[in-house]
Amino acid sequence: MIKQLLKTRGAKLSALVVGLLWLVALCQTPAYADTLTITGTSDTQNPLASSFSGQVGFLGQAFNNNFIVTATGQTFDFVFGQYTVAPGVALVESGCIDSPCIPITLTGNLTSPIGSLSFTGLYDEAEGAGSRFVLVDWATGSGPFGFTTVEGGSGTFTIELLDVFENNQTASTQLYNQTARVTITSFTPGGQTPVPEPTTMLMLGSGVAGLIISTRRRRRSEP
């Protein structure tokens, strides 16, 4: 009798603890999700002004991206354009020692939100029989740009290009992506429905499971 009573009380206590944790989770600040739309174009530069051989170019393109923003500090990547890298023919290099040293600039435009894009860095290129490598260390990005969302949110973001190291070891011209990274530098959410955080969902599931277990044990203990 005492053993059964202890089991029943233990089950009730477990359900109560889990239920309290669930309520704490529900009281957490929810994450709001807004849709940031970034559209625009990058400019073609073929061949690259920085390419001493004239065998490396950059193909601009249009881009249209929708990103789900929930907090400041988020980052999102997209393809800004592509490099065309011809195969290596002779043993030649740009003259840089240890690191890139030739200035490089890529440009473009944003149509949503409206803005101009300009990225600067240092470039290096070398080729040998059957190989041509391209190295770019980007130094400056663009922004900040202000944005508003259809949900009523607003904020700012910057765009930078990620460093490049590509080596074409084939006998034909190859295409390599230039990745751009968007960083949310400020964000005020709109008034839309909040998105439950992972911890909230976890606690909700645990609370429900605890209540179910408690109910089943109570039914089994009843005569």
> Of 144, 143, 126, nearest to 135 (Cα)?
126
β-bridge pairing 34-42 and 142-148: unpaired
Cα angle 155, 158, 159 (rounded to 5 degrees) comes to: 140
- pLDDT, tens digit, for every residue of 160-208? 999 999 999 999 999 999 999 999 999 999 966 555 555 555 555 555 4
170 and 203 in one domain? no
Per-residue DSSP letter, 37: E
Looking at the structure, tell me whether residues 38 and 133 fall in a common domain. yes
| Residue range(s) defining the domain that contains residue 200 | 2-30+196-221
Q: Mark whether 49 and 20 lie in a shared domain.
A: no
158, 185 Cβ separation under 8 angstroms: yes
Both 81 and 145 in a single domain? yes
215 and 122 inside one domain:
no
CB-based burial of residue 84 (10 Å sphere; 0-12 exposed, 13-18 middle, 19+ buried)? middle
Please identify which residue in the block is written with the tokens 């003259």.
95
Give the tens place of pLDDT for each residue, 38-48. 999 999 999 99
User: Looking at the structure, do residues 99 and 131 belong to the same domain, yes or no?
Assistant: yes
Which two tokens mark 219? 């039914």
CA distance 223 to 221: 6
One domain, residues 148 and 178: yes
Chain segment 62-108, per-residue pLDDT in tens:
999 999 999 999 999 999 999 999 998 878 887 787 788 999 999 99
d(CA 180, CA 61): 13
pTM: 0.73
